């Protein structure tokens, strides 16, 4: 039986936990000062700072990961928590069932297949193609799927965030060029192709877009978890 003192968190562990939280808070402050610019993503800023410190201090990644296990542990309940906004907006799924089911599955499929295929076409590694495959869905689900199909979860995490930034940055340009003006369509596309990052970008402008983005994030997460292992067979 472990002694009671083993429940005390060692100082080094607290140090890296504090560094991670501070880097994230700093990233949020930077984004706020740039009036919410999606390119100044707080998670990317935090990853850059912490990675830089780990490299500079010659800290092995394993020991850093062990120090901050608490944050990673909370990823599972946070993923489960995505069920709440999905259920809250389920009325929209009922009302626009055909549009959502067709738009979502087509968008999801196109994004997965073209992502992995383009990596192959341009001569990328197999592991990179498999990490690219689930990148459109919300990061925690994307990482779990990447793990399952033989990709690299850490790479997928970065791709998911940068992909979300690309979606947020190009959203208005692309959708207005295609004359897509309905907020339901804008929201669903943002949630399906750019998950949380793109959703946060459209949410302040329209409550409808925010609701449909929540539906897109939740349903695409489930859909990708089901279909990615099947599509991954093509890229083995």
Footprint of another protein on 120-179 (CB under 8 A): 120-125, 127-128, 132, 135-136, 138-141, 143-145, 147-148, 152-155, 157-159, 161-163, 166-167, 170-171, 174-175, 178-179
- Between residues 5 and 163, which has the closer beta carbon with respect to another protein? 163
In the bound complex, what is the minimum distance in angstroms from residue 38's beta carbon to another protein? 12
Q: Kindly report the CA angle at 160 between 159 and 164, in degrees rounded to 5? A: 110
Q: Which is nearer to another protein, 33 or 72 (CB)?
A: 72
Closest CA to 195 of 87, 84, 82, 88: 82
Distance set, CA 80 to CA 75, 85, 146, 174, 186 (Å): 9, 11, 18, 32, 25
Between 19 and 33, CB nearer to another protein: 19
Instruction: Go through 100-124 and write b for each residue having 16 or more CB atoms within 10 A of its CB, e for each that does not.
Output: beebbeebbeebbeebbeebeeeee
Give yes or no for residue 194 binding another protein (CB under 8 A): yes
Please report, for the chain, how many H helices and E strands are present, in that order. 13, 0
Does position 235 interact with another protein (CB under 8 A)? The reply is no
Helix H or strand E encompassing 147: helix 139-149
Which of 3/204 has CB closer to another protein?
204
What is the closest distance, in whole angstroms, from the C-beta atom of residue 11 to another protein in the complex? 18
Number of residues that bind another protein (CB under 8 A): 114
DSSP letter assigned to residue 7:
G
x/- letters, 70..109, toward another protein (CB under 8 A):
-xx-xxxxxxxxxxxxxx--x----xx-xxx-xxx-xxx-
**Which value, to the nearest 10 degrees, does the dihedral of the CA atoms of residues 101, 107, 109, 110 take?**
150
- We find the least distance from the C-beta atom of residue 149 to another protein, in angstroms, to be 10
CB of 190 to another protein, least distance (A): 8
Least separation in angstroms between residue 111's CB and another protein is: 3
CA pair distance 96, 184, nearest whole angstrom:
9
Which positions from 15 through 74 interact with another protein, judged by CB under 8 A?
20-21, 23-24, 41-43, 46-47, 50-51, 54-55, 61, 64-65, 68-69, 71-72, 74
Q: Which is nearer to another protein, 35 or 94 (CB)?
A: 94
Binding of residue 208 to another protein (CB under 8 A): yes
Residues 120 and 59: their CA atoms lie apart, in Å, by: 34
Closer to another protein by Cβ: residue 5 or 11: 11
Closest CA to 109 of 226, 11, 236: 226
Nearest residue (CB) to another protein, 33 versus 154: 154
């Amino acid at each position: 039986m472990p002694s009671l003192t083993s429940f005390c968190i060692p100082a080094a562990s607290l140090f890296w936990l504090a560094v991670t939280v501070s880097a994230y808070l700093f990233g949020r402050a930077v984004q706020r000062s740039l009036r919410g610019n999606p390119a100044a993503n707080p998670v990317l800023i935090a990853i850059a700072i912490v990675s830089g410190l780990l490299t500079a201090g010659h800290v092995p990644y394993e020991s850093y990961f062990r120090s901050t296990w608490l944050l990673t542990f909370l990823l599972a309940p946070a993923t489960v928590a995505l069920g709440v906004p999905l259920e809250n907006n389920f009325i929209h799924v009922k009302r626009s069932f055909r549009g959502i089911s067709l738009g979502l599955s087509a968008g999801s499929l196109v994004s997965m297949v073209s992502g992995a295929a383009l990596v192959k076409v341009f001569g990328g590694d197999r592991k990179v193609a498999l990490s690219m495959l689930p990148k459109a869905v919300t990061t925690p689900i994307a990482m779990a799927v990447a793990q399952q199909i033989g990709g690299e979860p850490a790479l997928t995490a970065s791709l998911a965030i940068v992909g979300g930034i690309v979606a947020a940055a190009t959203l208005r340009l692309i959708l207005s060029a295609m004359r897509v003006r309905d907020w339901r369509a804008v929201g669903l596309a943002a949630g399906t192709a750019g998950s949380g990052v793109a959703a946060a970008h459209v949410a302040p402008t329209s409550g409808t877009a925010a609701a449909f983005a929540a539906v897109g994030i939740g349903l695409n997460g489930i859909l990708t978890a089901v279909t990615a292992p099947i599509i991954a067979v093509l890229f083995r």
